[in-house]
A = this chain, B = another copy of it.
Amino acid sequence: MFKVNIGKKILSANEEHARKNSSFLAEQKKLCLNMISSPGSGKTTILARTITELKDKIKIGVIEGDIKTDIDAERIRATKAPAVQVNTDGACHLSAVQVSRALESLPVEDLNLIFIENVGNLVCPSSFELGENGKVVVLSVAEGDDKPAKYPGIFAKSKVLLVNKIDLLGAGVQVDFDIERVKADVRKLNKDIEIFKISAKTGEGFTGWCDWLVKSVKALG
């Protein structure tokens, strides 16, 4: 009882900031996507390639969430896109107020799309709305095909599932990953989710994902 009430207060303070972010982004007509996954599923590599592939079509900025270091923001800046690093100093997810402050440091007016790369964690970030238009969950094939069944929350809430590192499948090593099992388990949780199979290393599958982004940016007008 005690823990639940406190949890509710923290969540509702966060939701208030999330609503402010959401209103600001809607006024500015900017698409904002919150990218969530386990550590090491390839979020930053996906973003770097997405920015490069779309550089003549849409302008992308990134808010990078990490417990420590600015390794990821540096990797994004290497693509010439603007990036703001937020260090949570131990916290397991980004909060809406951290995103509010980060948005003030980005040249939002020059951008079409803002990605928030959340702290690597398949559990906690799914409970904290940041004011985004949608969540993108990333699952690397190296993590195994049982993850939607075992961590259903984020798969139920996401607009897009990116199945990454498909270059590891059937490449001389044995990776046990049944994509049909993943699709079936995810569809049970979320029938409308878009699923793209990609390799951020080779670029395979990026056409579908990038077309979806361009279409979603245009839909905002």
Copies in the complex: 2
Contact A121 B122 (CB under 8 A): yes
Residues of B within 8 A of A66 (CB): 150
Chain B residues near A121 (CB, 8 Å)? 92, 121-124
CA distance A201 to B144 in the complex (A): 13
Give the complex CA separation of A151 and B205 in angstroms: 30
Which residues on the B side are within 8 Å of A167 (C-beta)? 173-174
Size class of the A contact interface (CB-based, 8 Å): 35 or more
**Chain B residues closer than 8 Å to A153, beta-carbon distance:** 67, 90
Could you say which residues of chain B place their CB within 8 Å of the CB of A194? none
* Closest-CB distance, A49 to chain B (whole angstroms): 14
- Name A residues whose Cβ lies closer than 8 Å to a Cβ of B: 3, 6, 10, 38-41, 66-69, 71-72, 90, 92, 119-124, 140, 142-144, 146-147, 149-153, 165, 167-168, 171-175, 201
Judging by beta carbons under 8 Å apart, are A201 and B172 in contact?
A: no
